[in-house]
Structure 1
Amino acid sequence: DSVICIKLIIDKIRRKAIIDLNATTPQVPTNFNAPLAVCKAAVLYVFRTLVQTSIPLNDGCLRPIDIRVPKGSMLDPEYPAAVVAGNVETSQYIVDTLFGALGILAASQGTMNNFTFGNHQYQYYETVCGGAGAGKYFHGTDAVHTHMTNSRITDPEILELRYPIILEEFSIRENSGGPGKYNGGNGVTRKIRFLDKMSASILSSHRTYPPFGLYGGRSGMKGNNLVLRENGTLIQLCGNDSITMYPNDTFIIETPGGGAFGEK
């Protein structure tokens, strides 16, 4: 229930923008706090996407942007606050919130779906794609990494060659994107069956609240994490969870869809 609250003021005469985050939740006891550098990087990323010409990143890019963040908040935490998820998850929320405040892009999947598994012999980490948010003149894209994620996933053949797992399914999660004048992109379903005993962990977001739509566009579908045991038992996992996997157990990740833009 933490809140990232942005008050955005655009001064066209002075050619400046004030991003006021003073109403943001104080730092939290979990690891979803984001260092100030991560917050500033996320804000700068949004504004750089609005620049039509290609310019090198330099100090001048930040001069027109006044970022106001309260000390001790989850976007500028103080020691000993944990921050590991701030870079991979909270940064996504900052970006979606700012795009929403600007009114130009509905929320994308808003998470990296960080998935890890391993034992004494094998260790593996991946991020899983989802739906992109829709904009004023375009639909969101299906099954794509958005914003901070921006990484590729291991080829199925290589994954199965190097690790004792079977990739049972990697497919578009139909109708998970929000409906609207411009639809949000669909997320994906990814099912990995284990052939050896391992521990598995998922660090993900938008499992409780869906990615928002804009101007009457509907929200995208929430993500979901499950484990199907060999005996048919289905275990519901939280957004951030760990579990022991046994041979022929299947880990299921359903990633969020993007929000829609405009009423249908």
Structure 2
Amino acid sequence: MSRTASTASSIDPISASVIQGGLQSIAVEMGYKLMRMSYSSIIRESEDFGAALTDAQGRQIAESMQSTPLQSGPIAGYVQNVLKVMAERGETIEPGDVIMHNDPYGGASHGPDFAFLSPVFRDGALQGFACTTAHHLDVGAQTPGSAGIVEAIDVYAEGLQFKAIKIREAGRDIPQVWRILRDNVRAPNLVVGDMEAQIAASEIGAARFGELIDQHGAGQVTAAVDALMDHSETMMRKAISALPDGVYKASTMLDGFLDDPERRHLTMAVTLTVKGDEIEVDLEGTSPQIDDRPVNMPFVGTTDIAIWLTLRSVLLDSAVHGIIPQNSGLTRPVTIKAPKGCLANPSFPAPVIARFTGGNQLADTVMKALSQCAPEMVSAGIGNLKVIAFSGLSGGEHWVHMEIFEGAYGGRFGMDGMDAVDTLYANTRNNPIEDIETHLPLRVTRYELNEDVAGAGEWRGGFGSIRAFEFLADGGASVEGEGHAFRPWGFAGGGEGGTASLTAIAPDGTERAMPSKLAYRAAKKGEVYVATGPAGGGYGDPCAREPERVLDDVLDDLISPASARALYGVVVEDGALDLAATEALRAGTRAKGGRA
């Protein structure tokens, strides 16, 4: 049990629940305020941001549910590192301060994700923090944008680093910090505008947090926080206890840098040990860090979040358990180990800006390990996503845009995989075409599902998308992604999903295949980038899928009649299901012990 149980026992469950509702409402309000005040589509539309409250020690107590786990999840790590760094410097936190932090090795995951922390004081005592995080579109790295900086040789090549820097002190802005920012990013009005939105949202959260303390009293709020963390911890321990004790291993292959023989085909390894009501996740066997390429994953902020998010989502599925308070209590029963110097626990100053490509695969590998002890709770392999940073100059000023290209989920027990969505720990929204074409010299010329490639299964994998972007003016692009070389895994007899691809089409029609990671490359007006998304793996024997559901997929042009016959043993002729021929084909398949 947690060490705070004695404090938590001093509050009744109803009062704790009322306070939890208040804390959660504050975090949600912060998130919506940030979305609506932001300048860039990556925050306003894609929702690549986080908003959360912590206590004075940096334990997370509530988060904005509409934000991405990869942004809200690391906030506790941000705060704890800020407290550590400021204590080492002999600096104090005072009312009215706002602290800026984006240290990749200090909780921030990677440099483009900036946090702004607003402290909450009552009666001279620090009570907690209201925090926002968001991905910023340029942070002064070696090439435009804040994605696809795939040739960075260390974190210094990835952009500006601010380690627990006060940007507002006692309510007064520190103009020198703002000048440094404006003078060192390519789109200062956009970036600073988003940062000001973050500060405003965090200060709104701090004010609301203070009002909640005034209403209930600091002691009651502290007791409620302790009780809620104990409750979340108890729920997680019960879920773990329901799993059979044992050691479960899985591994996944990553693209790495496909055009570089020394840096391609990397391994992500997971050993998951279940013992009683605790889980240990050991990443021994994961490939060593790449010292001069940015696919490494900071242990705090990326590796831990990928693991916690997967365990929480699988073991405490909200469709089964309802809403579980999202706080630091959930992580207490989980121990994470990773060898120092591996991809999942790199040593400074190894570059990390493209860390999501491996992190999402880490989450998928944890899912694969869980499939051995919780087969009806997992999905088959995901189709990972890619990010393209588009940029250019217009009238002497930079424009930058980061587009997240969807992946797809694998099938799961009783459900097909979701189509064309961001997956696992990223979980951002698809960007509307209208927003892109209204604000940028880009045109989306194609947007459709990538059909007939999903992993076959009783519950098939989801389909990725195909999207084409045309440059309406000279510009450039850089890319970070995964899933070009290795197919998403199928489960329990399901088929593997399809891989992704990227093609550049020059104005004269010449096509060039691109790897999943591409350093900045200039583009001429009229050039088109075509991103073909991957498909998720299938779950279960394809010949156990209801023939009527296969027919529906054929009629919807998701699979061809030939695929229906070859993969599912279902005969569709002239848009109609031939049940007799289907049964005969499936009977022959079963007799052969394989597919049709």
* 1:184–1:261 contact (8 Å) kept in structure 2: yes
- Opposite residue 24 of structure 1, the aligned amino acid is T
**Equivalent residue for 2:268?**
4
**Equivalent residue for 1:240?**
517
**Equivalent residue for 1:17?**
279
Cα offset for 1:224?
0.3
**Equivalent residue for 1:71?**
340
* 1:31–1:84 contact (8 Å) kept in structure 2: yes
TM-score with structure 2 setting the length: 0.43
1:157-208 per-position Cα deviation (integer Å, ceiling 9, x unaligned): 2211221222101111102211112110000000011111101111110011
- Opposite residue 3 of structure 1, the aligned amino acid is T
**Equivalent residue for 1:45?**
309
1:95-139 per-position Cα deviation (integer Å, ceiling 9, x unaligned): 10011111122111123x111111123211110112111112211
Cα offset for 1:92?
0.3
**Bigger shift: 192-201 or 143-152?**
143-152
**Equivalent residue for 2:406?**
129
In 1, Cα distance between equivalents of 2:364 and 2:384: 7
In 1, Cα distance between equivalents of 2:456 and 2:337: 35
Q: Does 1:35 align with 2:298?
A: yes
Cα offset for 1:19?
1.1
Cα offset for 1:59?
2.9
**Equivalent residue for 2:465?**
188
- Opposite residue 149 of structure 1, the aligned amino acid is A
Identity of aligned residues (%): 26
**Equivalent residue for 1:164?**
441
**Equivalent residue for 2:384?**
110
1:208-246 per-position Cα deviation (integer Å, ceiling 9, x unaligned): 111111122111111000011121110111111142211
Q: CA RMSD in A?
A: 1.4
In 1, Cα distance between equivalents of 2:420 and 2:535: 9
Cα offset for 1:22?
1.3
Cα offset for 1:53?
4.0
**Runs of 4 or more off by more than 4 Å in structure 1?**
none
User: Number of paired residues?
Assistant: 260
In 2, Cα distance between equivalents of 1:83 and 1:235: 28
- Opposite residue 96 of structure 1, the aligned amino acid is D
> Greater Rg, structure 1 or structure 2?
2
* 2:421–2:430 contact (8 Å) kept in structure 1: no
Greater helix share, 1 or 2? 2
Paired residue secondary structure (1:141)? coil
In 2, Cα distance between equivalents of 1:74 and 1:123: 29
- Opposite residue 33 of structure 1, the aligned amino acid is N
* 1:176–1:185 contact (8 Å) kept in structure 2: no
**Equivalent residue for 1:258?**
536
* 1:96–1:110 contact (8 Å) kept in structure 2: no
* 2:283–2:339 contact (8 Å) kept in structure 1: yes
In 2, Cα distance between equivalents of 1:232 and 1:110: 28
* 1:142–1:186 contact (8 Å) kept in structure 2: yes
Structure with larger RCO (C-alpha < 8 A, sep 6+) = 1
Q: Does 1:224 align with 2:501?
A: yes
- Opposite residue 459 of structure 2, the aligned amino acid is Y
In 2, Cα distance between equivalents of 1:234 and 1:257: 23
2:418 equivalent among 130, 137, 141: 141
Cα offset for 1:31?
0.8
TM-score with structure 1 setting the length: 0.94
In 2, Cα distance between equivalents of 1:253 and 1:225: 5
**Equivalent residue for 1:91?**
359
The gaps in structure 1 that reach 5 residues or longer are none
